[in-house]
Structure 1
Amino acid sequence: MSQLVTGDAVVLGLRPARLPSRALAVVIDLVVLWGVYLALSMMVLSGTGSLDEAATAAVAVALLVLVLMGGPVLVETLSHGRSLGKMACGLRVVREDGGPIRFRHALVRGALGFVEIQMSAGVIACVASLVSARGRRLGDVFAGTLVVRERIPVARPTPVPPPPPWVTDRLAGLDLSRVPEGLWLAVRQYLLRVDQLDPQASWSVAQRLAADVAARTGAPIPERMPPAMYLSGVVAERQARDALRAFGTGREAERPAGSSPFAPPFAPPSAPPEPAVPAAPTVAPRGPAGPPPPPEAPPGAPPVSDPGGGGTSDERRTGFVPPA
């Protein structure tokens, strides 16, 4: 990591490009440049066949200088330090203060690069890059530039493990409504990068953030609880309350007293009752002998006489005969 200081006294952490990646970028650029030079040489020399040898040699030298020296200068000026090979390798030429290069930087680099790369077959550039602490060749030293890496692998943040259950139980009654969003963002960023910090710096930052959160909640930090664990528990408590408000609207009144806020807001549905099966009607067995009993008369109807004799139905049932 290179410590570059800008004009505003800001330290930039940039990774200088090393010799292997720079050599690969130079090889790609040289292949393209020499291909363009050979194609243009065939076109120009075929059109100037009527000139004498001196004029032909002058045209060839001018074409060599314009393409092999002016080509890199033009490309780096227009692309702000990114040639075709550097784009393929993820490199860029910047000033020593981290800013983009201009025409004068590209001109010095191109003029010295023609000597130390093409005329010496890259020996001078390789030796200078190996000697330099930041991998700079002579063109970079005189131009005040530096080749840095643009594509840097970024490690994905490790998710914060959930706090122990006893921590969440002790922080369940905190008043988190007065904690501002900026403080929540700072706590979350600290928890996501706690494994990348120095242990002493991590402890001091955790203490400061925990003190700020405790001051906003109005409750002191529990004894013997590390500040990082306290912050993790507070964040977990807030996430649980947000999930309860988002997915459990109207369920807080139904929750029994003393239950944990991390209980699921919805209870599993009970099994539906089985439908009742009506009982089959009972039918009295009919005897083999004798006629069926006559139907009973509705209440209030006059007694009906038996046409076959024997009196009315009331007489047969009670055995009482009313007087005439």
Structure 2
Amino acid sequence: MSELVTGEAVALELRPAKLPSRALAVLLDLAVAFIAYLVVTTGVVIATASLDEAAQTALSIAMFVLVLVGGPIAVETLSHGRSLGKLACGLRVVRDDGGPIRFRHALVRGLIGVIEILMTLGVVAVIASLVSARGRRLGDVFAGTLVVRERVPLTRAGFVPPPPPWLAGRFSGLDLSAVPDGLWLAIRQYLTRMQQLDPQVAWSMGERLATDLAGRTGAPAPHGVPPAAYLAAVLQERQAREARRAFGNGAAVASPAPPPAPAGYGGGVAPGGGPYVAPASAGQSSVARDAVRQSAAPASQDASSDGPPATGFAPPA
């Protein structure tokens, strides 16, 4: 999917963690793990003093695997990428597309970490992080993850505009399991930077992304819905599902049923000739309202041109 994102839209809004902060987080995690390993091993040895030497050796190996390998995997899975060391350093492990990691990501990182961190004293991990453009070690490369900084100031550059209210909940039953992480990342990058692109380039890129997404989900954009609005609505649905999976059903409120588009606004153009912007709901923030207005602005500028319309979010005909 990298060919769908031009040089104006490839900047990743997530900030990869630097090697010193990652190393400090790993040292803190290892210190906690070794303390837990010593405590557990001492208790097991005392409890199994009557066993023979071979049985005690087998138990020691089992404790090593359970505490130093299984422990970090379980912690990262349950905390969604925040171990104790990463929590102290303000870091978090996320997928390449910015979503929370799952068990398989933590498992791959933990198993490869045994080789590149424990068995080589971190030499392989340091070399891999220095070579990688985003500071990823081998475990991150194979797991498709990235360690990012969480304690960063929010900026408008990384703001993903919400879909128009009349599309909210339209794709609640869509099957998103076949959409790869790379496509989600390309969609996020496009939506955060489409206002910085030439209108025709932004429209063409949105159409390509919408076609690719429709091919993966089997549900094309509704007739008359601009590609950017379709992409924003599907992305919001995916983020809502990720939030429910990560934090429970109470953390994300289900999107309401989409209200019908107002009558008399064919093609998203108001009676006065300007672009129609769906009214904000009572709970919509001022930032969201500004984003919807800004997204509709290019449509008015290019309404008279022969080229494709801009990426403004306007209701379908």
Q: Which protein has the bigger helix share?
A: 2
Query: What TM-score results when the alignment is normalised by the length of structure 2?
Result: 0.47
Which structure has more relative contact order (CA 8 Å, sep 6+)? It is 2
Q: Larger C-alpha radius of gyration, 1 or 2?
A: 1
Using the size of structure 1 for normalisation, the TM-score is: 0.46
